[in-house]
Structure 1
Amino acid sequence: MVQKIIELSLRNRYIVLLVAAGLLVWGISAVSKNPIDAIPDLSENQVIVYTEWMGRGPQIIEDQITYPLVSNLQGVPRVSNIRATSMFGMSFIYIIFEDDVDIYWARTRVLERLNYAQRLLPEDVTPALGPDGTGVGHIFWYHFKAPRMDLGEQRALQDWYVKFALQTVPGVAEVASFGGFEKQYQIVVDPVKLQYYNISLMDVMNKVRANNNDVGGSKFEMTDMAYIIRGLGYIKNKEDVENIALSSNNGIPVRVRDIGSVQMGGDLRLGIFDVDGEGEVVGGIVVMRYGENADKVINDVKTKMKEVEKGLPAGVTFETSYDRSTLIEAAIDNIKFKLIEEIIAVALIVIIFLFHWRSALSIIIQIPITIAISFILLNAFGLSSNIMSLTGIALAIGVIVDNGIIMSENAYRNLSVWQNQNKSPKNSDEK
């Protein structure tokens, strides 16, 4: 069988060369399209459901949120396992699907079941799906260098400007903020004054919530003009909160400032982000979407950050905390160096031992063609390039050229035997 394939190839050598050239071009195209990352993605095929109910303890979260959701999500098709954890103010549920399940099909099925399970949860509690990323999706971390801004202002800049801009980059699933303080209006209530004015704490909460809202008042027509009427009620500063009316006492309105004080503060924090022991900073974590090219996404994020940096306040710049592209580029440079090194070594060895440059060329050509074909197969099976696969290719280069060297040496040996057999009768006749 092998002999027939060799004979067929020798008779149609130009077709073989044409096919090899086509595979090389196809492989070069596959290299540019193949997703590349630093580490292989061995994470499970999962969908994350998280629910916030701030101020509640882990046991309440477990009983009223985690358990009802897990009980209803168990009926989702093609689920292999469900894990859950409850903590202060938050619930996380990890739905593990079978490996061959499409991630977006899985997210759709989970979302359908969550719509049904919503009625089992407490009022104003809404579960949400986590980003469509994997366990190794944290590809880029950054933080601000802003010596003249406090942590609250930096966090507001991150949440309301930088985050929204970076989330528009193709391939980015989420930009998670970390560090600093999330600004909020805090009302410090005096219980004695509440008792004096006969106002409950729930009344304060409901009045403040109701007054932080714009309302519509239909349309008013006068002569040839129509005016849209609306009531402006959004809170814009601390004084707006202080002036909210809670009730009346002998015809005099009782406002928030009468039962306590209003201050600007930060939300409850469960941790901080420190850089090199020099102090706390504010920044974000870029999470890559499932199946994207990590190197391309990181480069696109860096390009977007240069545009965003133009709109930052004076003295504020970006600093990189973690950049996976450095490891990716190091892996690519290593495979390039090993490829050139192997080509030179093989060429020298073949030329020295066979002393024939055409034989060396036929062996060297196998290296780029074989590597190009390997990337075609990686794309066909949906696999990405990473340190493990690129290292395997680098180690396999020696195996790639082995058969070429063996075939060349065997051809020389057979030619030598054939020549000796043809020369022997001639020499005997001359004698």
Structure 2
Amino acid sequence: MIARVIEYSAKNPFMILLSVFFLSAWGYWAVTKTPLDAIPDLSDVQVIVYAEWSGRSPNLIEDQITYPIVTAMLGAPKVKYVRGTSDFGFSYVYVIFEDGTDIYWARSRVLEYMSKIAGKLPEGVNPILGPDATGVGWVFEYALVDESGRHDLAELRSFQGWYLRYQFQAVPGVAEVASIGGFVKQYQVNVDPNRLLAYNIPFTRLTQAIRMSNNDVGGRSIEMSEREYMIRGRGYITRLEDLQM
């Protein structure tokens, strides 16, 4: 067999050179076009649906949120299987698609089927999609440490959430920057139930009043001394004194 190959090559040098040329060209194209990855993505094509309903038990979350979303996603095209997880106050639904499915096509299908059940979910529950990343997309983890001791955990978390996070999100290829730890700055209203009962004020009325007070109100314009002034009411809460009564 080897002797025949050698004999054929000696009698047809042009064909051999032509074959070597095409094989070399194909090898060069394959080397330049084949993507290289130190950690290849072997995970499934998945879309995560997250919904939050604060203060509810896992059983209620399962019945009112997780189950409707899971049953709706089962009818989506190219879906292999759907997994749902319910916990205190939130729900996770993992929609796994067939291999080779375009991730952006899969996300659009999930949004399409989510719109069909929006009216069946409890009031105030707005499911959102997880980040545009794979299951092995966790690349880097860092910590903010103030060695000088001049900043507390709330200030570090504010710096992370309002400045540093956006700088990392602007890096090409970064899908999400998840902040964990620290203290998120917030204003709390401690309600005395005895005083509410004494003044006959429902708790829902109090929360509605606080929510409506944190708002700007637009007005009309007035003309004075050949000048036009725009009128608006500034009501957004910017400091703790705005909540004190």
TM-score of Structure 1 vs Structure 2, range by shorter chain:
0.7 to 0.9
Q: Do the aligned partners of residues 168 and 35 (structure 1) sit closer, same or farther apart at CA in structure 2, a change above 3 Å counting?
A: farther
Cα separation, 2, equivalents of 1:142 and 1:61 = 33
For these two proteins, the number of residue pairs brought into alignment is 240
Cα separation, 2, equivalents of 1:218 and 1:7 = 95
Deviation at 1:73, TM superposition (A): 2.0
Cα deviation per residue 1:51-102 (whole Å; 9 max; x = unaligned)? 0112222112112111122222222111111110100111000111111221
Deviation at 1:228, TM superposition (A): 2.5
The alignment partner of 1:138 has SS state of coil
Cα separation, 2, equivalents of 1:227 and 1:3 = 96
Cα deviation per residue 1:233-263 (whole Å; 9 max; x = unaligned)? 1111111111xxxxxxxxxxxxxx3xxxxxx
User: Is the aligned partner of 1:11 residue 2:14?
Assistant: yes
Percent identity for Structure 1 against Structure 2: 47
Cα separation, 2, equivalents of 1:184 and 1:176 = 19
4+ long deviations beyond 6 Å:
none
Q: Do the aligned partners of residues 163 and 9 (structure 1) sit closer, same or farther apart at CA in structure 2, a change above 3 Å counting?
A: farther
Q: Do the aligned partners of residues 42 and 238 (structure 1) sit closer, same or farther apart at CA in structure 2, a change above 3 Å counting?
A: same
In structure 1, the residue matched to 2:114 is: 114
User: Is the aligned partner of 1:217 residue 2:228?
Assistant: no
| TM-score, length of structure 1 as denominator length | 0.51
| Structure with larger Rg | 1
Aligned counterpart in structure 1 of residue 158 of structure 2, from 156, 167, 184: 156
Query: Does the aligned pair in 1 maintain the 2:9–2:16 contact within 8 Å?
Result: no
Deviation at 1:226, TM superposition (A): 3.1
Deviation at 1:229, TM superposition (A): 2.1
Q: Do the aligned partners of residues 197 and 24 (structure 1) sit closer, same or farther apart at CA in structure 2, a change above 3 Å counting?
A: same
The alignment partner of 1:184 has SS state of coil
Deviation at 1:179, TM superposition (A): 1.1
Instruction: Tell me whether 85-94 or 67-76 shows the greater mean CA deviation.
Output: 67-76
In structure 1, the residue matched to 2:91 is: 91
User: Is the aligned partner of 1:102 residue 2:105?
Assistant: no
The alignment partner of 1:176 has SS state of coil
Cα deviation per residue 1:151-187 (whole Å; 9 max; x = unaligned)? 1111111111111221121111111111112221111
Letter in 1 for 2:227: M
In structure 1, the residue matched to 2:202 is: 200
1:276-287 pair list within 5 angstroms: none
Cα separation, 2, equivalents of 1:105 and 1:120 = 24
Letter in 2 for 1:73: M
In structure 1, the residue matched to 2:44 is: 44
The alignment partner of 1:139 has SS state of coil
Q: Do the aligned partners of residues 60 and 2 (structure 1) sit closer, same or farther apart at CA in structure 2, a change above 3 Å counting?
A: farther
More strand by share: 1
Query: Does the aligned pair in 1 maintain the 2:218–2:232 contact within 8 Å?
Result: yes
The alignment partner of 1:75 has SS state of coil
Cα separation, 2, equivalents of 1:188 and 1:9 = 93
Deviation at 1:26, TM superposition (A): 3.4
The alignment partner of 2:61 has SS state of helix
In structure 2, the residue matched to 1:30 is: 33
In structure 2, the residue matched to 1:136 is: 136
| TM-score, length of structure 2 as denominator length | 0.87
Letter in 2 for 1:103: I
Q: Do the aligned partners of residues 109 and 201 (structure 1) sit closer, same or farther apart at CA in structure 2, a change above 3 Å counting?
A: same
The alignment partner of 2:186 has SS state of strand
Cα deviation per residue 1:135-154 (whole Å; 9 max; x = unaligned)? 11001111112132211111
Cα separation, 1, equivalents of 2:9 and 2:28 = 24
Structure 2 unaligned residues grouped into runs of 5+: none
Cα separation, 2, equivalents of 1:4 and 1:122 = 80
Cα separation, 1, equivalents of 2:108 and 2:238 = 38
In structure 2, the residue matched to 1:53 is: 53
Deviation at 1:221, TM superposition (A): 4.0
Deviation at 1:27, TM superposition (A): 4.9
Cα separation, 1, equivalents of 2:180 and 2:114 = 28
User: Is the aligned partner of 1:174 residue 2:199?
Assistant: no
The alignment partner of 1:183 has SS state of coil
Deviation at 1:193, TM superposition (A): 1.6
The alignment partner of 2:76 has SS state of coil
The alignment partner of 1:91 has SS state of strand
Q: Do the aligned partners of residues 7 and 48 (structure 1) sit closer, same or farther apart at CA in structure 2, a change above 3 Å counting?
A: farther
The alignment partner of 1:50 has SS state of strand
Structure 1 unaligned residues grouped into runs of 5+: 243-256, 258-431
Query: Does the aligned pair in 2 maintain the 1:9–1:16 contact within 8 Å?
Result: no
Query: Does the aligned pair in 1 maintain the 2:168–2:177 contact within 8 Å?
Result: yes
Aligned counterpart in structure 2 of residue 227 of structure 1, from 208, 226, 229: 229
Cα separation, 2, equivalents of 1:197 and 1:232 = 28
The alignment partner of 1:142 has SS state of coil
